[in-house]
Structure 1
Amino acid sequence: MFRLSNNLIGILNILTFLLSIPILWAGIWLSKHGASECEKFLDKPVIILGVFLMVVSLAGLIGSCCKVSWLLWVYLLVMFLLIVVLFCFTIFAFVVTNKGAGRVLSDKGYKEYRLGDYSNWLQKRVNSTSNWNKIRSCLADSKVCSSFSSKYLNDTAEKFYSEHLSSVQSGCCKPSNDCGFTYVGPTNWTGSGTTSTNPDCTTWSNDPNVLCYDCQSCKAGLLDQVKTDWKKVAIINIVFLIVLVIVYSIGCCAFRNSRRDNAYGKYP
């Protein structure tokens, strides 16, 4: 009879193989039917993930069920590397997101965001012209500001100032509070000859295709969202790492069993 560890590895890899099928299908679908470049940007990583999971699960399944020691060795090596990569990414994610937060305005329901408050590594990513052009295009494709405008279209100035806006809405879809512009609509503001040194005041435009997409506040608002998302991912990674370590330990037992059985030339 197969040992328990071999059976568990076999079952886990069957589940992983089944999971890889919809992931691979989703990547192929995105590459053919993605509505925008932002959606199509995800197709290659998703396809690679799907193929990776499929190959690794097959190696673990065949290695454990057929007691092929070298396949189990490859499987364990990949698992070990994956654990190391996830561990390093989790630490990195916590380090680069430990700085930065929205600044509370005493008479506003929303916060404002300053690029200099965030980590240098994140700042360099969004200050890269090529990177930001792609991000800007994705923000426009997502219609984050057009939906923002529709949602708050009937707000009076007092009502709008009390709204709790997302970091991207606050940073990209309206001018900075420093500018002192007069509210006309969510994405329509009248300049008042401000003397503010904030460069975003001259960057802002009522043109719905421009708005504050090129403002420092927009980059900061995006980074605040990235910071929140990365922290969530890092917490999920911790749970995933614990699961991987358990699976890796079971795999080591299965590998030991396979080597012992191959050495004796018979099942235990």
Structure 2
Amino acid sequence: MFKATNGLIGAINFIIFLISIPILGGGIWLSTKANTDCLRFLQWPIIIIGLCLMVLSLAGFVGACYRISWLLWLYLFLMFFVIVALVGFTIFAFAVTSRGSGRPMMNRAYYDYSLSDYSGWLKDRVSDPEYWEKIVSCIRDAKVCQKMGRYYGYMPETADEFYRRHLSPIESGCCKPPTVCGYMYINETTWDQSGGTMGYGDLDCSRWNNDQSQLCYTCNSCKAAVLANLKHDWRKVAVLNIVMLIVLVIVYVIALAAFRNNRRIDNDEPQGVNRMTKAQPSRIHF
């Protein structure tokens, strides 16, 4: 039982160690190759996750395979905080994404997005000018708006065909003006502003720019679209965290059993030696 428990913990942590190598390598590669704010923004979280996984897995692997109790104790200590952190993040993720969604528009298959529908920490974070510049850099680097164009044969997409498209939040909020502005469709990212209603005072209508480097990147609708995207992604991460928590709790219980086995053997070894000493027959004197 002891060998099986320790062997299982060692095998699990060896796999985690192998997984941590490409994660850490990817973060280091980004730090040397990053030439945009988007990539620089991603590198440190990846490096930190890779290092944490590597240290944690090494402690578990060595502690289990070489029966080093203090390393297993350190592994259990760190694992406990990882589990607590995942529980906290999961609760936080559901809490900050509880509000806000797209608004259906008449005669449109896509949704429009309004920043007023969102509130709380995530909204403040996204709206922060320094943070927003990094997000816009990511959207530009991904060329989301440039990839919106569609052609049917040699003919570009018509307005009616565009209105029937199911756009992503970023495409709807950042690459076109809000529907309320009443601008006339020319193509996916170019709109005629001459006949618009200016959205009855909606500031996003005045922020829209046909310049392909500007579009609606300064619009509140773009920030709301990013929040909608984050809500969708964070909810998926939260569900994945729940699965990871179940796995980590099982691994933690197995590691705890291995730690107790180590301590029991460490405590039994001196007693075993004493028993052997006491069991030796006394010499017979003639």
Task: Return the TM-score normalized by structure 2.
Answer: 0.89
Letter in 1 for 2:226: L
Contact 1:23 1:46 in 2 (8 A): yes
Letter in 2 for 1:214: T
Q: Could you tell me which residue of structure 2 aligns to residue 261 of structure 1?
A: 265
Q: Distance in 1 between matches of 2:144 and 2:89?
A: 29
Q: Secondary structure at the match of 1:41?
A: helix
Deviations 1:143-165 (A, max 9, x none): 11111146698111111111111
- The residue correspondences of 1:34-45 to structure 2 (distance < 5 A) are 34=34, 36-45=36-45
- The residue correspondences of 1:51-66 to structure 2 (distance < 5 A) are 51-66=51-66
Q: Secondary structure at the match of 2:248?
A: helix
Alpha-carbon deviation of 1:193? 4.8
State the superposition RMSD in angstroms: 1.9
Q: Distance in 2 between matches of 1:151 and 1:29?
A: 37
Letter in 2 for 1:169: E
* Structure 2 unmatched runs, 5+: 273-286
Deviations 1:220-249 (A, max 9, x none): 111101000000000000000000000000
Alpha-carbon deviation of 1:40? 2.9
Alpha-carbon deviation of 1:100? 1.0
1:22 and 2:29 correspond? no
Q: Could you tell me which residue of structure 2 aligns to residue 49 of structure 1?
A: 49
Q: Secondary structure at the match of 2:48?
A: helix
Q: Could you tell me which residue of structure 2 aligns to residue 117 of structure 1?
A: 117
Alpha-carbon deviation of 1:182? 0.9
Q: Secondary structure at the match of 2:145?
A: helix
Contact 2:90 2:238 in 1 (8 A): yes
Alpha-carbon deviation of 1:35? 5.0
Deviations 1:18-72 (A, max 9, x none): 1111112211222222353312322222122222111111111111122111111
Over 3 Å counting, the alpha-carbon distance change for 1:193 and 1:232 in structure 2 is closer
Contact 2:208 2:219 in 1 (8 A): yes
Q: Could you tell me which residue of structure 2 aligns to residue 170 of structure 1?
A: 172
Q: Distance in 2 between matches of 1:129 and 1:49?
A: 27
Identical aligned pairs, as a percentage? Answer: 51
Letter in 1 for 2:202: N
Which fold has the larger relative contact order, with Cα–Cα distance below 8 Å and residues 6 or more apart in sequence?
1
Contact 1:182 1:189 in 2 (8 A): yes
Q: Could you tell me which residue of structure 1 aligns to residue 32 of structure 2?
A: 32
Q: Distance in 2 between matches of 1:122 and 1:150?
A: 33
Q: Could you tell me which residue of structure 1 aligns to residue 275 of structure 2?
A: none
Q: Distance in 2 between matches of 1:21 and 1:134?
A: 27
* Structure 1 unmatched runs, 5+: none
**Deviating 4+ runs (over 3 angstroms):** 149-153
Q: Could you tell me which residue of structure 2 aligns to residue 159 of structure 1?
A: 161
Letter in 1 for 2:197: T
- Tell me which moved more, 72-81 or 12-21: 12-21
Q: Could you tell me which residue of structure 2 aligns to residue 230 of structure 1?
A: 234
Aligned length: 268
Q: Could you tell me which residue of structure 1 aligns to residue 99 of structure 2?
A: 99
Q: Distance in 2 between matches of 1:62 and 1:126?
A: 42
Q: Distance in 1 between matches of 2:131 and 2:83?
A: 29
- The residue correspondences of 1:68-83 to structure 2 (distance < 5 A) are 68-83=68-83
Q: Distance in 2 between matches of 1:63 and 1:176?
A: 59
Q: Could you tell me which residue of structure 2 aligns to residue 194 of structure 1?
A: 197
Alpha-carbon deviation of 1:73? 0.7
Q: Distance in 2 between matches of 1:151 and 1:165?
A: 16
- Tell me which moved more, 170-179 or 111-120: 111-120
Contact 1:116 1:123 in 2 (8 A): no
Contact 1:114 1:217 in 2 (8 A): yes
- Tell me which moved more, 124-133 or 44-53: 44-53
Contact 2:191 2:210 in 1 (8 A): yes
Contact 1:9 1:61 in 2 (8 A): yes
